[in-house]
Amino acid sequence: MKKNPIIILGMHRSGTTLLANVFEDLGIFMGKKKEQNSEPIFFLRINNWLLRQANAFWDNPYNYTFLDEKEREILVEITKKYLKSLRRLEYFGYEKGLKSFFDLDFFWGWKDPRNSFTLDVWYKIFPNAKLVHIYRNPVDVANSLRTREIKRRKRFKLNWKKEVDILYRNKNLGYGNSVRVLNLAEGVKLWKEYTERIFYLEQKYHLNILHIKYEDFLERPLEILNKILPELDIDIEDSKLKEIIKNINPDRKYAFIKNEELVELYNKIKDDELLSKLGYDKIL
């Protein structure tokens, strides 16, 4: 029986990797060749290309929204051709061989936060795809982005020869450096751009998106999975689910409340309409 893809949406640092790893443990094929954030190189390459057509990037995706429908149709046709190219082996690996994305008989999908913007292309290619959106409070997201960028910059100073090699060999396909996310307020704005984009596309194209609150998933993973897996047509025994989720740590929920700087940021933004919509207006 033909299986449609399971596409994970959500802002960077919002739990997309956690969810992708859980799905993979459940037996959902999420790609053979992946970068460090569990994003399949094949689909990451496509998403980066799609964004670049509007001079947009993962940390500055706004320009992508200016593409008109005619331009998007062209992107859809080019993407379809790429999906049929020999490069698809990058996703399937030699074990599965050169299969067709349009005739798979096993559960499969991919995770990439960029899907949140390029979904208008993917839903036209895979109109019956299963869409799962995981979201997290913006303060923890912004802080995680800043922390990651600071670490990256430290590595650059210590390993500059390796960084230059990456530059020349064009290996930096995944997370690239971002000056923007060094600013917490800008990190929150970026979170809002991604999250609003998902709800906008859901309404515009009447999509059926499964929404998961990251903090709820950390606290009640078994309950959440038992709700969404039937929607994905996946039947797994509770005993196996419990084994898969046993290492999920609920203590990671609302980490920002232990940091005065982050609490101050939260108090400045907590009355935002989107935070209220997602239940983040009364954390403290």
Tokens, residue 103 = 């005739």
CATH number of 6-136+187-254: 3.40.50.300
What pLDDT, on the 0 to 100 scale, is given for residue 160?
54
Segments making up each domain of the chain, as ranges: 6-136+187-254
DSSP 153-215: HHHHHH-HHHHHHHHHHT---S----SGGGSHHHHHHHHHHHHHHHHHHHHHTT--EEEEEHH
Tokens, residue 230 = 């039937």
**What span, in angstroms and rounded, lies between the C-alpha atoms of 211 and 131?**
9
**What span, in angstroms and rounded, lies between the C-alpha atoms of 123 and 131?**
9
| SS3 (DSSP) at 88 | helix
- Dihedral pair phi/psi, residue 161, rounded to 5°: -65, -40
Tell how many helices (H) and how many strands (E) occur in the chain.
13, 4
Tokens, residue 87 = 């490069």
- Let me know: does 13 contact 141? Beta carbons within 8 Å: yes
| SS3 (DSSP) at 76 | helix
What pLDDT, on the 0 to 100 scale, is given for residue 130?
98
What pLDDT, on the 0 to 100 scale, is given for residue 163?
56
What pLDDT, on the 0 to 100 scale, is given for residue 1?
81
Cα separation values, 65 from 68, 123, 135, 144, 197, Å: 8, 16, 21, 26, 9
Whose structure tokens read 């956690």?
Answer: 18
Closest CA to 208 of 228, 235, 223: 228
What pLDDT, on the 0 to 100 scale, is given for residue 162?
61
Averaged over successive runs of 10 residues, the pLDDT of the chain (284 residues) comes to 95 97 97 94 96 96 96 97 96 91 97 98 98 98 95 69 57 63 97 98 97 98 96 93 94 94 97 97 92
Tokens, residue 129 = 């795809």
**What span, in angstroms and rounded, lies between the C-alpha atoms of 30 and 230?**
19
What pLDDT, on the 0 to 100 scale, is given for residue 153?
78
What pLDDT, on the 0 to 100 scale, is given for residue 141?
98
What pLDDT, on the 0 to 100 scale, is given for residue 159?
57
pTM of the model: 0.92
**What span, in angstroms and rounded, lies between the C-alpha atoms of 282 and 284?**
6
Helices (DSSP H) in 53-100: which residue ranges? 69-83, 89-96
What pLDDT, on the 0 to 100 scale, is given for residue 95?
87
**What span, in angstroms and rounded, lies between the C-alpha atoms of 18 and 214?**
9
